[in-house]
Amino acid sequence: MNRARSATGTMRALGLMSGTSLDGVDAAVIETDGHDVTAFGPGRYRPYSDKEQEILRAALGHWEGARVDAAARVVTAAHREVIAEFEQVDIIGFHGQTLAHDPRGRGTLQAGDGAALSDVLGVPVVWDFRSDDVAQGGEGAPLAPFYHFACARRIGAQTSIAFLNLGGVGNLTYVDSSRARPEDPGALLAFDTGPANAPINDLMQARLGMTMDRDGELAKRGVVHRELIEEFLASPYFTRDPPKSLDRNDFVFASSLVDDLPDADAVATLTAMSVAAVRRGLAHCPRAPGRLLVTGGGRLNPVVMAMLDEALTCPVAPVESVGLDGDMLEAQAFAYLAVRVARGLPTSCPTTTGVRQPVGGGRICESAGSDVSA
């Protein structure tokens, strides 16, 4: 990387995200100096085919072997396609596809080869964002909170605000907008709230051969079984203090609780579980946020949004209500983090991942086969 070019000023960064919902690749451009976001650029979405999703699902929970290798090939090829649609970017942030996440055990694994992607546009690629955080005692997740802090600054938030991302797993970021930097004490609190779309998507696939409960149509027709919600909330995860994070499959027991329910009741109950987890999560915040902004696929589910509105005391709205893009926010986050890595700035801190001190994770690749730790 030309460090002189990246030392100061605004960079045009492309971020790439393939989330735990396994639906596809989000790609988005932003302009940033690693502190403030000055402009939003174009975005693209590249869905995974049924066959590609099958390969990725087969690799979940695995750390090595043929299934992981096959998943890495799918992820890398799909991202090459997406990257080729962009031009005039200075740096790329590549998250990869999380297959396994065990920060207190084997670590964290994101499939995909960042080094193999750096030659597509001939610009540096920053990848492997989570490993350094885990190596220094952190959970390695969530990593979007530093970008949420920048978003709160961009929209001119004057009070505390919270961002809720509902992907395969739910995660919450509490932002104190009065602080100067995201790593400052009290500026952020972030953690995974619990399962979100993943159990619903898995049930829809297993029972009905569908990838999701689109628009909450099935949940609308179901009855929520409250006794199962209470059983779900008895998990010790919900009383554990944040920061804390989850693997996509950490709550498989929640899915087993609805095994004997009809399809509609099962989906309605799983949907209510994700909302109940958010409500429990908000209790960990230092105070109630002035508003909750929802991003990720869950915000498009009217049943989820109605349940959140009923369950919470603070106003709830999609991030579009403040001019942000809920489809691309996670991809934008990794564009932002890539610039911070290039600038030697932290990407996580004790109150976002539990890492011992602020850390800037990620490896920078200038060309295929050549990478260095940031």
Q: How far is CA 154 from CA 61, 149, 157, 221, 370, in A?
A: 37, 9, 8, 40, 35
The predicted-structure confidence for 141-162, as pLDDT tens digits, reads as follows 999 999 999 999 999 998 899 9
Q: Does some domain include residue 122?
A: yes
Model confidence pLDDT, tens digit, residues 31-63: 999 999 999 999 999 999 999 999 999 999 999
Res 307 pLDDT > 50: yes
Assign residue 280 the CATH number of its domain. Answer: 3.30.420.40
The more confident residue out of 355 and 3 is: 355
For residue 151, tell me if it sits in a domain.
no
State the average pLDDT over residues 283-291: 95
Polymer length of the chain? 374
Residue 73 has pLDDT above 90, yes or no: yes
162 and 25 both lie in a single domain? no
In the prediction, which pLDDT does 367 show? 61
Predicted pLDDT at 91: 97
DSSP 325-356: -TTTHHHHHHHHHHHHHHTT--SB-HHHH--S
Verify that 255 and 308 share a domain, yes or no.
yes
Among 220, 221, 203, which residue's Cα sits nearest to residue 212?
Answer: 203
Stronger pLDDT, 74 or 103, i.e. the higher one: 74
Q: What angle do CA 85, 90, 92 make, to 5 degrees?
A: 65
pLDDT band at 103 (very low <50, low <70, confident <90, very high): confident
* pLDDT score for 8: 67
- Examine residue 72 and state whether it is found in any structural domain, yes or no: yes
- Domain identity same for 271 and 358: no
Residue 41 belongs to domain spanning: 3-142+327-373
Domain-terminating residue out of 322, 338, 364: 322
Is 287 within a domain?
Answer: yes
Do 168 and 246 belong together in one domain?
yes
* Same-domain check for residues 114 and 231: no
The domain tally of the chain equals: 2
Q: Based on the domain organization, do 310 and 163 belong to the same domain?
A: yes
Do 350 and 318 belong together in one domain?
no
State percent of the chain over pLDDT 70: 96
Same domain, 228 and 310: yes
pLDDT over threshold 90, residue 21: no
Which one has a higher pLDDT value, 107 or 15? Answer: 15
Same domain membership, residue 121 and residue 241: no
221 vs 168, residue with greater confidence: 221
270 shares a domain with 126: no
- Residue 288 three-state SS: coil
Residue 149 lies in a domain: no
Whether residue 162 is found in the same domain as residue 236: yes
Burial class (CB in 10 A: 0-12, 13-18, 19+), 49: exposed
Do 282 and 367 belong together in one domain?
A: no
Rg of the Cα atoms in the chain: 19
150 within a domain of the structure (yes/no): no
- pLDDT average, residue stretch 210-229: 97
Residue 148: inside a domain, yes or no? no
In a domain? residue 293: yes
**In the prediction, which pLDDT does 7 show?**
61
